[in-house]
C-alpha cells in the first residue's frame, strides 16, 4: 500500500481538519516531500498537531515516516541527487560543485547581518555555550564547539542526549544554547530549547527553514537553506550549508577586536602539542 492508498483507505474515518492535510497531500505529493511538518501545516491551514494526528490515523508513527515513504512512492532514490533546476543530475565534478557554489552565493545573499551580529555578541558575552544536535548532524555540533574553544570561548557538546540535557539542567542564565538541525524538527533538539527557555538561556538555531518548529522556538535563527539539495532529504543529506553558516559565524567572531588576546593564548598553548 502506498501513502496515497493509505489516505484514500482511511479518508472517511479521519476528522475534517485532518482531511485538509489529506487533500493537500493527494493534490501536491511532490511539494509535501520537500516540506517539514510546520510548512505542510501552514499550506493546509491547520496546526502541526493536526498533521501528526493524520499521519498516525492512517497508520504511521509520525510525519517523518510518512514523508519518507511518500518520497519512495514517488520514485525518489534515497541516495539519488535532486539535480539542477532543469531536472538533470550533475554529470561531472564541475556540474556538482557549480550547484553547490550557486547555492552558497544564494545562501550568503539571504543572511540577515543584524541577526548574525546579535548572535556574535551573545556568544562573546556568554559564560558557556552549549551546542546540541542529534543523529547525523551531531558531528557539526562537536565541530562548532571545538572551534569556538579555539577562539577562546568556552563551549561544550556531546553526542549523548543525557549528557547535554544534564548540562542544561545545571546551566545559568548567562549561558547560550546553539541548536543545529537541518529540518528544524529534531525532537531532542527541540526539548533542549524548551529546557533552555525555562532556565533563562538565550538560544540560537541553525536550520534550513524559517517556518520550522526550531526556528520558532529560538531567539535568533541563522538559516542554512540549499535551493537545490544535492542529496535527498533522507539518508546522506549534505550539511555543506550548515557548515557554511558556521564558518561565517566563526569568521566574524575571530575578527572581533576583543578576542585577539584569547585566540593568541589558546594557540600558544596548543602549539606545545605540535611539531
Q: For residue 163, what pLDDT is reported? A: 93
Taking only the tens place, the pLDDT of each residue in 114-126 is: 999 999 999 999 9
Task: Identify the CA nearest to 168 among candidates 213, 215, 203.
Answer: 203
Give the range with max mean pLDDT: 9-13, 85-89, 222-226.
Answer: 9-13
Q: For residue 80, what pLDDT is reported? A: 40
- Please give the Cα distance from 111 to 191 (Å, whole number): 26
Q: Is the pLDDT of residue 253 over 50?
A: yes
Per the listing, cell 561531472 goes with 92
202 DSSP β-pair partners = 176
Q: Is the pLDDT of residue 128 over 70?
A: yes
Q: For residue 71, what pLDDT is reported? A: 82
Taking only the tens place, the pLDDT of each residue in 20-54 is: 999 999 999 988 887 888 889 999 999 999 999 99
Q: Which domains are assigned to the chain?
A: 3-73 (1.10.10.10), 111-271 (3.40.50.10490)
Q: Are 107 and 243 in contact (CB under 8 A)?
A: no
- Please give the Cα distance from 66 to 39 (Å, whole number): 15
What count of other Cβ atoms lies within 10 Å of the Cβ of residue 82? 17
In the chain the beta strands, taken as DSSP E runs, fall at 129-132, 155-157, 176-180, 202-207, 220-223
The proportion of the chain whose per-residue pLDDT surpasses 70, expressed as a percent, equals 84
Taking only the tens place, the pLDDT of each residue in 135-148 is: 889 999 999 999 99
Q: Are 101 and 244 in contact (CB under 8 A)?
A: no
| pTM of the complete model | 0.76
Amino acid at each position: 500500500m502506498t501513502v496515497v492508498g493509505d489516505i484514500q483507505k482511511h479518508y472517511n474515518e479521519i476528522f475534517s481538519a485532518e482531511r485538509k492535510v489529506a487533500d493537500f497531500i493527494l493534490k501536491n505529493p511532490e511539494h509535501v516531500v520537500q516540506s517539514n511538518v510546520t510548512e505542510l501545516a501552514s499550506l493546509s491551514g491547520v496546526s502541526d498537531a493536526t498533521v501528526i494526528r493524520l499521519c498516525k490515523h492512517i497508520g504511521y508513527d509520525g510525519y517523518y515516516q510518512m514523508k519518507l515513504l511518500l518520497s519512495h512512492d514517488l520514485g525518489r532514490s534515497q541516495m539519488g541527487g535532486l539535480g539542477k533546476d532543469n531536472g538533470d543530475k550533475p554529470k561531472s565534478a564541475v556540474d556538482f560543485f557549480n550547484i553547490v557554489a550557486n547555492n552558497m552565493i544564494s545562501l550568503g545573499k539571504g543572511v540577515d547581518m543584524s541577526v548574525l551580529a546579535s548572535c556574535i555578541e551573545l556568544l562573546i558575552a556568554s559564560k558557556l555555550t552549549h551546542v546540541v544536535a542529534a543523529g547525523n548532524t551531531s558531528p557539526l555540533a562537536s565541530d562548532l564547539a571545538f572551534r569556538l574553544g579555539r577562539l577562546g570561548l568556552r563551549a561544550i557538546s556531546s553526542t549523548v542526549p543525557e549528557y547535554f540535557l544534564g548540562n542544561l539542567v545545571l546551566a545559568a542564565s548567562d549561558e547560550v544554547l546553539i541548536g543545529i538541525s537541518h529540518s528544524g524538527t529534531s525532537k531532542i533538539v527541540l526539548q533542549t530549547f524548551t529546557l533552555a527557555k525555562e532556565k533563562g538561556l538565550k538560544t540560537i538555531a541553525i536550520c534550513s527553514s524559517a517556518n520550522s518548529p526550531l526556528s520558532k522556538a529560538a531567539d535568533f535563527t541563522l538559516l542554512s537553506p540549499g535551493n537545490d539539495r544535492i542529496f535527498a532529504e533522507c539518508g546522506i543529506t549534505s550539511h555543506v550549508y550548515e557548515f557554511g553558516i558556521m564558518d561565517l559565524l566563526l569568521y566574524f567572531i575571530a575578527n572581533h577586536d576583543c578576542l585577539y588576546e584569547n585566540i593568541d593564548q589558546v594557540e600558544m598553548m596548543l602549539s606545545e602539542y605540535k611539531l
